Structure 1
Amino acid sequence: MKSNDKDARERIIEVTLNILDEVDDIDKVTVRQIAERANVGVGLINYHFKTKDNLLSIAIGEVMSNAIEELYDDNVYTLKPIEDLKSLLKKLCDIGLHYEKMLTFMLNQCISNGDMQAELSIVPMLRKIFGSEKDEMSLRTIALQIISPIQIAALSPESFQLYSGIDVKNKHQRDSFIDILVENIIRGNGDVK
């Protein structure tokens, strides 16, 4: 990719994120609006991103990837990998709720496109917890068991609250849910370090 193309692509993503911060309804964001603000043609956006949904997914995904990277860089890991996992999940949920307007869109895109980055991001921590007791497939399955209920709670917080009594928008209740979820799944999957 040429430098000008890369600069334009990055500018398009930055403008998209700025617009997403300003709007209440993500569906009202248009490619033309993004193009005008980024000072590029609509054709260039279509060339780089193909569809508006793809652009929005990439932009939101970049925010979440950067947030995860910062968490890994900033987090001082302890000798208690289960607590580290809980801490990471709690921080990711906090970030997700900070971007609440984009969260449903992002989760729908991830699930419908088969994006398993969230699950894969916790596999290294699970490897620390289980050591050589679990193979790669088992670790990935455990990651899916942990991430899926969190995604469901985020997609439909009201329904989740009706079912569980847990208000995921309440930090204390959300953190308690994550503690219980991780403990139940980790302890239920056998020997841990």
Structure 2
Amino acid sequence: MTIHEDVIERIISTTMELIQESDGNIKRVTTRKIAERANVAVGAINYYFRSKDRLIEIGLQRMLEKQKEVTSPSSRTGDTRKDLIVFSQQFADRLFGHAAISEIAILEDMKSPKTTDNTAKSIDEFLTFTAVEAMEDGRIFALVTTIQAAFLRRNQSKRETGVDLLEKEQRDLFVEEIVTALFSE
């Protein structure tokens, strides 16, 4: 690893640590804090990443990729709808299991959507379980964004819907109902 690569990795790793420590408040992750903890000059962050926002985006992307590696899809049963339910439940579990990171990523995607953002990547993941028609008619988009919206409202879910999304059993039933509603023949 070159000196430049080492500095870049140190800055990204430090940013990831600070994101996790921020409990979803990325405003607390300052360029100065990153530089101090990574033992680099503030100018190095701008030199290598152009902006703190770009660095945060890279850090979040890496964190989400690690999250996906840990929670890879379970084996398939051959029943597309059942497999989609299980995968959707695992997707929801990933969001709830890493709430601060997930919240930042979803809100960033909503604020400035891109074809390469985390929501788009999640939609692509879901496409492995469904036919192209589900993408074309918007059902996969509806499924992913509904689960994301429910996650963002997780603390109000019991009062608003009678379902406590913080409880895995209730969340699994909720996700199953969404999949069934969107993908019933």
TM over 0.5: yes
Indicate the structure with greater helix content: 1
Q: What residue in structure 2 maps to residue 81 of structure 1? A: 80
Q: What residue in structure 1 maps to residue 126 of structure 2? A: 122
Q: Residue by residue, what CA displacement relative to the aligned partner does 1:95-149 show, whole Å, maximum 9, x if unpaired?
A: 222222233221110112213222222112113xxxx7x27523xx111110111
Q: What residue in structure 2 maps to residue 97 of structure 1? A: 96
Task: State the TM-score, normalizing by the size of structure 2.
Answer: 0.82
Work out the CA distance in 1 between the residues paired with 2:127 and 2:107: 22
Q: Residue by residue, what CA displacement relative to the aligned partner does 1:63-90 show, whole Å, maximum 9, x if unpaired?
A: 2123224444x63222223222222222
Identity score, percent: 26
Q: Does 1:163 align with 2:150?
A: no
Letter in 2 for 1:40: V
**8 A contact 1:166–1:173 mirrored in 2:** yes
Letter in 1 for 2:63: V
**How many angstroms does 1:3 deviate by?**
4.2
Letter in 2 for 1:92: F
Q: What residue in structure 1 maps to residue 22 of structure 2? A: 23
**RMSD, aligned α-carbons:** 2.4
**Unpaired segments ≥5 residues, structure 1:** none
Q: Does 1:186 align with 2:180?
A: no
Letter in 2 for 1:64: L
Work out the CA distance in 2 between the residues paired with 1:124 and 1:178: 18
Work out the CA distance in 2 between the residues paired with 1:55 and 1:4: 18
Q: Which runs of 4+ in 1 moved over 4 A?
A: none
Q: Secondary structure at the match of 1:166?
A: coil
**8 A contact 1:13–1:55 mirrored in 2:** yes
**8 A contact 1:26–1:102 mirrored in 2:** no
**8 A contact 1:152–1:160 mirrored in 2:** no
The alpha-carbon distance between structure 1 residues 149 and 50, as it changes in their structure 2 partners (threshold 3 A), is: same
Q: What residue in structure 2 maps to residue 147 of structure 1? A: 144
The alpha-carbon distance between structure 1 residues 89 and 45, as it changes in their structure 2 partners (threshold 3 A), is: farther
